[in-house]
Amino acid sequence: MAADGYSALHEFWLNLRAIPNHVYRAMFRGGPPKTDRTRSSFIFGNVFLHLHSVRTHLWSLRWSTTMGLGIMTTAAFLITLVTGILLMFYYKPYPDVAYQSIKDIHFIVPTGRFMRNIHRWAANVMVVAVILHMARAFYTASYRKPEEFNWFIGWGLLVTTLGLSFTGYLLPWDQLAYWAITIGANIAQSPREITDALGITAWADIGGFQREILLGSDKVGEEALIRFYLLHVMILPLALVMLMAVHFWRIRKDGGLAKPANADELVAEEAKEFYPVFTDVPTKTYHLAAIVKGKTAAVGSGPEHTVPSMPHLFYAELGVLMLTTLICVGLAFVSDAPLKELANPLVPENPAKAPWYFLGLQEIVSFSAFMGGIGIPMLCVIGLGLIPFLDREKEGTGSWFGGPGGWKLVKWSIVVGFAASIGVEAFAIHFGWLREWFPEIPQLFITFINPGTVLTAIYAAYSIWAVRRYNSTRAGALALFTCFLCGFIVLTVIGTYFRGPNWDFFWSPSDWGGH
Amino acid sequence: MTTHPSEKKSRFDPEPMPRRDFLGLAALGSMAAAFALSIFGMLKLPKAAVSASPAKKFNVALPDTLPEGEAFVPPGRNVAVFRDAEGVFAISTVCTHLGCIVKTSSAGFDCPCHGSGFQKDGTVRKGPAPKAATLAESLKKRGVAHDRRGSER
């Protein structure tokens, strides 16, 4: 019996009527975020939003700081996630039916073709964005203390993204997929180039073991498809999500995005528009809610040159999300995802080409499977991961092309990077290589002395010169990173546009001729 | 207070390692060992003890009209069969570089994927292929091809 005379039944009725209001208030505990304080609690009271810091420095909000590339990568991933889950309803990971199920998705399932196109384009946008995002972080020297670990995580995200792309285009089980698995698995087997030459394959067959783990068999078949499917829809996405969570959280824990030492002065003019920061008198310290320097809590005044993440940062993020969606949907309207002929183990396509982001790799793999497919990529990947530990300088952190040498060095590195890669390629295409000159030459020579390794050596030598010239490791890193980006572009372009049947050089696909 | 090792300790003396710590460490150690062993055991899962694969032996009927030195590719097989003065021999058409299927040309074999080229006897002519094409074992008797390296699919 309720105290004020109402019967319990009546109270039950009142509670029932009040359910919508109560549910609303349980979900939005702080009420609509109208003041900076409620905006703050809106962020750290929410499991998804609390990866953001409550306040954002004005420097980080400038579009030239990040160009929104990290958010764009995330947005592209979310789009692939949603469309990928939708595709999983119809896709069947088994060689006999995989191709047919993709055809069903493409031609029969309502909106299936659209979803597949968006999935494919978002994946491509993600690869582009992740590479540009890495370049941004590198050229603004954002990997430096205390963000070294986050560069490491980002490095893991790059590798995982490429892994997701690779495992993704295998699933339709068309010609591209089949020969990509075959070549990928044989690249995993390519340490045999070394072990065979040394005559130790019978005792230590690392390559054969790697190939068998990937394929689950000694041939490319149903076990391989299931393995790649599992990697694509389960293992790699889980890894990616976990790494992303750490990546975002670290940004906050490392004190926001990297800023130049004089960032406060640079944004001073912009900051004036935002004062006074707090629209009502705070009742508590903001010590935890924002990054405040000094021993005493700064009660009653906002941290300088920062604005509440809600709404300033969130609007920027949503803007990038919408732009990314627009790009992916737009591309999906004008360009269909390819589906080649059904996988045929007897006849590869001629030329058999990987998607664009692996064509640079295919170009150096065509010099040596081991150095091109494992040796040089491993060197690049390990070198990338170690950058923050090799460059521990301070100059230029947070500003574009910061550090000794600066933009001038980068400009020259672009020249050297393009000239060296075009020169080495032109030489190899015109004059051939060791095998054509000395047919009896042992394989070890070709493995270690081929156009790919020569190009790598030129870049390394140039980078060492830059270290000495500017007396700075950062200068060497700027030179090397720029050169490798240029080499990647040149090799990708050659692989994409200038390689034809039998991987011969052609000035134009119209010269390919019949085959 | 000085204690002699042989002396019976008073109950106020500290034990070398408290019993609880010892038990705790032992528990942690056994847990770590159990995890390590179970992960090691799981690592064996991805590699099957036996894997299904098609027979690597098959019969080939050469066309009677096949000229000497010209390649014959039996339908559905990744192998090229030749007839010459010494008898019949076969070469695997799986490229030794990265496993694409080479096609016959006037110069021998060419690979569509990375530009390897082989002569008619299987030796490398150009490109990245690390070794000569696999030569099947003697076919001089009944025309039975047996791929030694098992790279035939």
* Nearest chain B CA: its distance from A189 CA (Å): 9
Predicted local distance difference test score (pLDDT) of residue A163:
94
* Model confidence band, residue A201 (pLDDT cutoffs 50, 70, 90): confident
Question: Is the CB of A362 less than 8 angstroms away from the CB of B97?
Answer: no
Q: Is the pLDDT of residue A364 over 80?
A: yes
Nearest to B112 among A197, A218, A349 (CB): A349
* Nearest chain A CA: its distance from B54 CA (Å): 9
The mean pLDDT of A61-84, rounded to a whole number, is: 94
Range A100-105, long-range pairs (CB < 8 A, 24+ positions): A102/A171, A102/A172, A102/A173, A102/A174, A102/A339, A103/A339
Question: Is the CB of B113 less than 8 angstroms away from the CB of A504?
Answer: no
Predicted local distance difference test score (pLDDT) of residue B15:
67
The 3-state DSSP class for residue B87 equals strand
Which has the minimum average pLDDT: A58-72, A172-186, A341-355, B55-69? Answer: B55-69
The 3-state DSSP class for residue B91 equals strand
The mean pLDDT of A254-266, rounded to a whole number, is: 83
Query: What token pair was written down for A318?
Result: 């949503």
Whole-number Å distance between alpha carbons of A57 and A308: 9
* Model confidence band, residue A75 (pLDDT cutoffs 50, 70, 90): very high
**pTM (2 d.p.):** 0.85
The mean pLDDT of A176-191, rounded to a whole number, is: 88
The mean pLDDT of A349-377, rounded to a whole number, is: 87
User: DSSP code of B100?
Assistant: P
Predicted local distance difference test score (pLDDT) of residue B144:
44
* Model confidence band, residue A514 (pLDDT cutoffs 50, 70, 90): low
* Nearest chain A CA: its distance from B11 CA (Å): 48
Question: Is the CB of B124 less than 8 angstroms away from the CB of A367?
Answer: no
Strand partners, A55: A308
The per-residue pLDDT for range A447-488, each reduced to its tens digit, is 888 899 999 999 999 999 999 999 999 999 999 999 999 999
Nearest to B130 among A182, A193, A366 (CB): A193
Predicted local distance difference test score (pLDDT) of residue A236:
97
Nearest to B115 among A218, A443, A503 (CB): A503
Residue labelled with tokens 């150009």: B126
The mean pLDDT of A245-264, rounded to a whole number, is: 87
Question: Is the CB of A348 less than 8 angstroms away from the CB of B100?
Answer: yes
* Nearest chain A CA: its distance from B65 CA (Å): 24
Predicted local distance difference test score (pLDDT) of residue B5:
56
The mean pLDDT of A429-453, rounded to a whole number, is: 85
Q: Is the pLDDT of residue A179 over 60?
A: yes
Whole-number Å distance between alpha carbons of A44 and A475: 40
- Highest average pLDDT, of A39-48, A110-119, A382-391, comes from A110-119
Predicted local distance difference test score (pLDDT) of residue A4:
64
The mean pLDDT of A83-89, rounded to a whole number, is: 96
The 3-state DSSP class for residue A30 equals coil
* Model confidence band, residue A285 (pLDDT cutoffs 50, 70, 90): low
Q: Is the pLDDT of residue A255 over 90?
A: no
Q: Give me the residues of B, 21-40, that contact A with CB < 8 A.
A: none
Predicted local distance difference test score (pLDDT) of residue A434:
82
Whole-number Å distance between alpha carbons of A492 and B93: 28
CA angle A494, A496, A499 (to 5 degrees): 65
Nearest to A432 among B53, B126, B153 (CB): B126
Instruction: Kindly indicate whether the ipTM for this predicted assembly is greater than 0.85, answering yes or no.
Output: no
Predicted local distance difference test score (pLDDT) of residue A296:
52
Q: Is the pLDDT of residue B149 over 60?
A: no
Query: What token pair was written down for A271?
Result: 């900051």
Whole-number Å distance between alpha carbons of A266 and A305: 10
The 3-state DSSP class for residue A505 equals strand
Q: Is the pLDDT of residue B95 over 60?
A: yes
Which residue of chain B comes nearest to A351, CA vs CA?
A: B112
* Model confidence band, residue B98 (pLDDT cutoffs 50, 70, 90): confident
Question: Is the CB of B52 less than 8 angstroms away from the CB of A365?
Answer: no
* pLDDT cut 90: percent of chain B above it: 10
Which residue of chain A comes nearest to B74, CA vs CA?
A: A346
